[in-house]
Structure 1
Amino acid sequence: MEHASNQQITLSQARQEASTIFLAKVFNWMAIGLGITGVIAWFTASSGLAAQLVQGPLFIILIVAQLGLVFYLSARIEKIQPGTATGLFLGYAALNGLTLSMVFLAYTGSSIATTFFITAGMFGAMAVYGLVTKRDLSGMGSFLFMGLIGIIIASVVNIFLNSSSLYWAISLIGVFIFVGLTAYDVQKIKKIGEDGIMQQGEGAIQKGAVMGALALYLDFINLFLMLLRFFGGSRN
């Protein structure tokens, strides 16, 4: 009995260690992606390129290209090479930096910095919750995904309605959705690490880390954009 108990403890420790290593890889790639996005966004805005982008059709092309990269990466992750997956993720982060340069044109630098730190604090708190909670968040993930679809549809509708009330409602609901998705995604990534991805070879680890990083990157960026609506100080 004691031998079996010790074996269980050892197995549990091994799973936790594997999960910790995998999570570190995911967060490292997420941080790299955010760093690339931030640097490119700042450079594009400060160099004057952002003002030129927003006036031409290239801005729409960039947005379409970003969506295409995300869909392609998600759909083909099992078939593409790890290096290709990594390159696509970094390419997406770079393209996102170009489009997010518009943020520097619309809001003051100090309000952007303040919102970034608020976002980092909220993201970090929910990431910790996702790691330590014993509650299964998988059911919440389905609910949050439906909510995400809802705010996307509402945002499109509001382009035509131009309702300030709907705009603020979408922003507030969006904050709650991306806060919840952060906890859900971190728990899901933790389970992937525990379930043996670290034993599947370097290629599977790299692709898994890239997809996990993409999910958390999107959570962070979208939470930041939603909070910016509340805390961002307009330049106008």
Structure 2
Amino acid sequence: MTFGQQPQGGNQYSNPNMQGQPQYQYAQQNPYGQPQYGYAPNGTAAMNAQAAYSYEQVQQAQRVSVTRAYGEMTIGLLITAAVAVIAQMTGAYIGFLQATGLIGVFLFAAIQIGMAVYLGARIMKITSGTARVMFYVYAALMGFTLSSIFMIYDLGSIGLALGMTALFFFVLTMFGMTTKMNMLKAGPILMVALIVLIISQLILAIIPGVSGMTQIVCALGLIIFAGMTMYDAQQTRALFAAYEAQGPEMIKKISIVCALNLYLDFVNMFLYLLQLFGNRD
């Protein structure tokens, strides 16, 4: 099952450093590489030149923050892979399906979608620790569900799709981070395309057997999530730039929601590549 995502772009998050709001000064670097902040009221005539942010410090802080998001995404992927392998080796997923049938499948899907929506909507209200635990639990549930691919595809196909996904994801991320093209403007288009993709998959589930349509939908899905990967790469950088002045706790929260978006891009691209090029066992 493919899980989509809501772009968490400019509509949900706004830049808190607008005119008339308090400005922050750089105080010192804590042991974890995150900046600490001192308060300076708006309209201060002269800021201490050594205390204020320099361009290099701002760039370094953004790089550290982006690295944190991709690190959290990587941990989530490792949890998913580990749970999928364990569930396959122990037969846990097969036993779960035998006990619950389709009810269990829909229950797992509902829980995963609900967690993703809740995490995106409540990220500003919950603590960073709670957000991280929810993300890891989500990744574990995804791994339990994805253990089903071992019953459909051979290991060679799974490994090939995983390698291709990692390569594409890296290339698309680097392109999104370095290009001057503003992918954030493509957010509404990608969202509409994602809705059309989901509706198309539901129709194919109800009316199976349409020759060639599954491959076409998978190809379109791959293109859409390639665009989402570039979009989320730029959005990650933009969100950290907007919220970096609110301190380490906010940075941790933003890193989790960005990691979730990137994680979903990776998993969906992997599934589409597997369906396109995998050999069914």
Note if contact 1:119-1:223 (Cα within 8 Å) is conserved in structure 2.
yes
What is the rounded CA distance, in whole Å, between the counterparts of 1:15 and 1:192 in structure 2?
13
2:212 maps to which residue? 165
1:138 maps to which residue? 184
What is the rounded CA distance, in whole Å, between the counterparts of 1:93 and 1:216 in structure 2?
12
Q: 1:223 aligns with which of 269, 274, 277?
A: 269
**Cα RMSD, aligned residues only:** 1.5
2:73 maps to which residue? 30
The question of 1:108 aligning with 2:185 is answered no
Q: CA deviation at 1:13?
A: 2.5
What is the rounded CA distance, in whole Å, between the counterparts of 1:229 and 1:103 in structure 2?
10
Q: Which has the higher helix share?
A: 1
Instruction: Give SS of 2:212's match.
Output: helix
What is the rounded CA distance, in whole Å, between the counterparts of 1:109 and 1:33 in structure 2?
21
Counterpart of 1:87 in structure 2: which amino acid?
Answer: V
What is the rounded CA distance, in whole Å, between the counterparts of 2:59 and 2:181 in structure 1?
17
Q: CA deviation at 1:68?
A: 1.1
Tell me the alpha carbon deviations over residues 6-58 of structure 1, each in whole angstroms, 9 at most, x when there is no partner.
x9xx8432332121111110011000000000000011011111222233232
What is the rounded CA distance, in whole Å, between the counterparts of 2:219 and 2:56 in structure 1?
40
Q: CA deviation at 1:169?
A: 1.3
Note if contact 2:112-2:142 (Cα within 8 Å) is conserved in structure 1.
yes
Structure (1 or 2) with the larger CA radius of gyration: 2
Q: CA deviation at 1:199?
A: 2.7
Return 5+ residue gaps in structure 1 as ranges.
1-6
Note if contact 1:73-1:85 (Cα within 8 Å) is conserved in structure 2.
yes
- How many residues in Structure 1 have an aligned counterpart in Structure 2? 226
Note if contact 2:240-2:254 (Cα within 8 Å) is conserved in structure 1.
no
Counterpart of 1:35 in structure 2: which amino acid?
Answer: L
1:42 maps to which residue? 85
Note if contact 2:240-2:251 (Cα within 8 Å) is conserved in structure 1.
no
Q: 1:209 aligns with which of 239, 255, 259?
A: 255
What is the rounded CA distance, in whole Å, between the counterparts of 1:60 and 1:118 in structure 2?
29
Counterpart of 1:80 in structure 2: which amino acid?
Answer: I
Counterpart of 1:109 in structure 2: which amino acid?
Answer: L
Counterpart of 1:194 in structure 2: which amino acid?
Answer: A
Q: CA deviation at 1:224?
A: 0.3
Return 5+ residue gaps in structure 2 as ranges.
1-49
What is the rounded CA distance, in whole Å, between the counterparts of 2:261 and 2:55 in structure 1?
26
Counterpart of 2:138 in structure 1: which amino acid?
Answer: Y
Percent identical among aligned pairs is 34
Q: CA deviation at 1:229?
A: 0.6
Counterpart of 1:24 in structure 2: which amino acid?
Answer: T
Counterpart of 1:174 in structure 2: which amino acid?
Answer: G
Counterpart of 2:128 in structure 1: which amino acid?
Answer: P
Counterpart of 2:62 in structure 1: which amino acid?
Answer: S
Q: CA deviation at 1:223?
A: 0.4
Tell me the alpha carbon deviations over residues 79-106 of structure 1, each in whole angstroms, 9 at most, x when there is no partner.
1111111111111001101101101111
The question of 1:200 aligning with 2:243 is answered no
